[in-house]
Amino acid sequence: MKITRRFTTAGQSPYATIPFRRATSEIKNPDGSVVFRLEGFDVPEHFSQVAADILAQKYFRKAGVATRLKKFEESTVPSWLWRHVPDEAALASLPAKERTGGENDGRQVFDRLAGTWTYWGWKGGYFTSEDDAQAFFDEMRYMLAMQMAAPNSPQWFNTGLHWAYGIDGPGQGHMYVDYKTGELTSSSSAYEHPQPHACFIQSVADDLVGNGGIMDLWVREARLFKYGSGTGSNFSSLRGADEKLSGGGRSSGLMSFLKIGDRAAGAIKSGGTTRRAAKMVVVDVDHPDIEEYITWKVREEQKVAALVTGSKICQKRLKAVMKACVNCEAEGDACYDAAKNPKLKIAIREAKRDGVPTNYILRVVQFAKQGYTDMAFDTYDTDWDSEAYLTVAGQNSNNSVRVTDDFLRSVDADADWNLTARLGGKVTKTLKAKDLWEQIGYAAWASADPGIQFHTTINDWHTCPQSGQIRASNPCSEYMFLDDTACNLASLNLLRFRRDDKSFDIEAYEHACRLWTIVLEISVMMAQFPSKEIAELSYRYRTLGIGFANIGGLLMSAGIPYDSDEGRAICGAISAIMTGVAYATSAEMAKELGPFPGYAPNANDMLRVMRNHRRAAYGQPSGYEKLSVAPVPLDHASTAMTSACRRRQARMGPRSWSGPGSRLPQRAGDCGGADRHHRPRDGLRHHRHRA
């Protein structure tokens, strides 16, 4: 593929026009003690303190970087793109403590990311010439340094550690499909094939310890959390409470296993550093345990409230009991007898009135009798990372209920709704759909969970329905596709495409969308995965996600209300352009490298979805194919960029969306497919989520 330069100049460092500054980053505990401090690291001058902190605290490699490196020669790779390994001879001459360290310059991070993408892109045959590879390397480094775009966190954590520094470790059960042979391969290295994917959807079978079962899922999730990724699963195949087991007993039910998974996730820090593990739990609205699932976090939030309030009441009242004993001047044991010590009698009565357990009251009296003058009773607070929240369940997942149009129609009609057993489909309970809907609404108001996933609409826009239904999502829900697949993401920063005259640089935006689509595609090729199923399906469908951030900042800087027809229209126009460019780039790569293997059985559906995207982008109110609910089309009349967007769509539309006159996708389709990045909501809904 040809790579043009827009931000850089051949033969000149991409950093030549970017001033850098020295920064310091520090994390302190509430008591003032220092948790983390890094002084004198280099970042681009325009980086805010928050951006500098994130780079230093989260994404710098903290240890294991050799201070002396040498190039590792590969005959099939240009010398400027050779990877590096520790120079053992040079390191031997240094004191032991000076042989390794960590990253301390933003350019190190930008170089290892962009260099690794270019390295694997070259090996995979993505560039027409060495000049195109060099242009790609420079353009990506510039965009990273200028905060024009960013990949998902696992890229920052993992990508390039092997290429840039020779960092490695033993394989940890990961798999990948060799890009040259198409064969499934077990990873023997922790980082040669990195784990750049943030978003995973994993299946779970109604099996306790077998492959693909419940306990196996916790192992697969742990692999993902360790390298900074998130995962989601639909748990609806698990039997409800009291359903029969093959051994003759009764199932403990869905919730018992969700609580185990929650604890396992809570024990693992994402990326092996400081972020919490991220997971999504999805349950179908007809599951026998759906009501208990819906109210799960409501009850846990109530427990936190009880812990916080109760601990403070107990502390206050028990200290009053202690004080009444200590400040008493009676003789003998009279101070510790409520009948003889009026102040103690009042303190005990008030403590009992407020619900303080009697055994605690008596214990404090005995404590005072032994000569103690004070006592400690810990109190709790509502900070999300506090002991109170660590004590209760359900704090390490986002929970969603999967609803169908049938259920929503039942709500609207105030009809009955059946909950059904997982084995045999027997009705276990019948209730009003509206009552269940009310439970969902109340729980979301009370605890922010569960969310809703609209199963019918999601599958209407599914580009690979012949390969199975979409049943779940990643933790943030911007990725929805088949079970046992993964998605790596990138977001473009819209404010960086705003010119000084307040106009939006559509040409630069399109250029960036094209290059980042290539980055994400290369990342699929180079990646390793936590299971053979995900490795195989990621190779087969090559899912990725491109989106944008800062739509609110872009609108506010232009004086446009966020909640306005004009604001929504601009968001839709920017979404349409990104979607079109991403699919046009995808078709371009399919033309050069062939379609993704899963294209053929889904070709008609994929082109149908592309035609529906195109109709929405052109503002068509009707004419959509096989949709239960028509989308809200792009409102050209309400956008301040109407004329510009229409000109761009008129030029790019036919080559971006499949349909009559779609030259590039059809040409790629002659090779078997119009798109290799088979994401069901590619771009459009992803960046609406980011917005």
91 inside domain: no
361 inside domain: no
Which residues are catalytic, by number?
Answer: 474, 476, 478
Higher pLDDT, 462 or 383: 462
The proportion of the chain whose per-residue pLDDT surpasses 70, expressed as a percent, equals 91
Question: Hey, is 630 helix, strand or coil?
Answer: coil
With a cut of 90, say whether residue 385 has pLDDT above it.
Answer: no
Q: What domain range is 517 assigned to?
A: 474-690
Tens digit of each residue's pLDDT (9 = 90 or more) over 398-424: 999 999 999 999 999 999 999 999 988
Among 537, 547, 683, which residue's Cα sits nearest to residue 610?
683
Q: pLDDT at position 643, please? A: 46
Q: Which residue has the tokens 């956008």?
A: 639
Confidence of residue 269 (pLDDT cuts 50, 70, 90): low
Over range 364-381, report the average pLDDT: 91
Higher pLDDT, 209 or 574: 574
Tens digit of each residue's pLDDT (9 = 90 or more) over 144-154: 999 999 999 99
Q: pLDDT at position 673, please? A: 28
624 inside domain: yes
Over range 281-291, report the average pLDDT: 96
Q: What is the mean pLDDT of the chain?
A: 88
Q: pLDDT at position 247, please? A: 76
Higher pLDDT, 656 or 514: 514
Q: Which residues contact 657 (CB under 8 A, 6 or more apart)?
A: 580, 583, 610, 611, 613, 614, 617, 665
Q: Which residues contact 351 (CB under 8 A, 6 or more apart)?
A: 317, 318, 320, 321, 361
d(CA 610, CA 593): 21
672 inside domain: yes
Phi, psi of 250, rounded to the nearest 5 degrees? -125, 145
- Whether residue 7 contacts residue 142, with contact meaning beta carbons closer than 8 Å, is answered with yes
Q: Which residue has the tokens 């004419």?
A: 623
85 inside domain: no
With a cut of 70, say whether residue 658 has pLDDT above it.
Answer: no
The proportion of the chain whose per-residue pLDDT surpasses 90, expressed as a percent, equals 70
135 inside domain: no
Over range 107-120, report the average pLDDT: 98
Least confident of 2-11, 108-117, 150-159, 244-253: 244-253
d(CA 621, CA 679): 24
Q: pLDDT at position 270, please? A: 54
Sign of the dihedral defined by the CA atoms of residues 251, 254, 258, 259, in that order: negative
628 inside domain: yes
Among 261, 197, 274, 262, which residue's Cα sits nearest to residue 534?
197
With a cut of 90, say whether residue 553 has pLDDT above it.
Answer: yes
Q: Which residues contact 13 (CB under 8 A, 6 or more apart)?
A: none
Over range 506-521, report the average pLDDT: 97
> Can you give the pTM of this predicted structure?
0.84
573 inside domain: yes
Q: pLDDT at position 350, please? A: 96
Q: Which residues contact 629 (CB under 8 A, 6 or more apart)?
A: 405, 457, 460
d(CA 617, CA 417): 37
Run of H or E including 177:
strand 175-177
Over range 431-453, report the average pLDDT: 95
d(CA 413, CA 408): 9
Cα–Cα separations (whole angstroms), residue 158 to 24, 52, 228, 340, 593? 23, 19, 9, 70, 27
With a cut of 50, say whether residue 687 has pLDDT above it.
Answer: no
Domains in the chain: how many in total?
A: 1
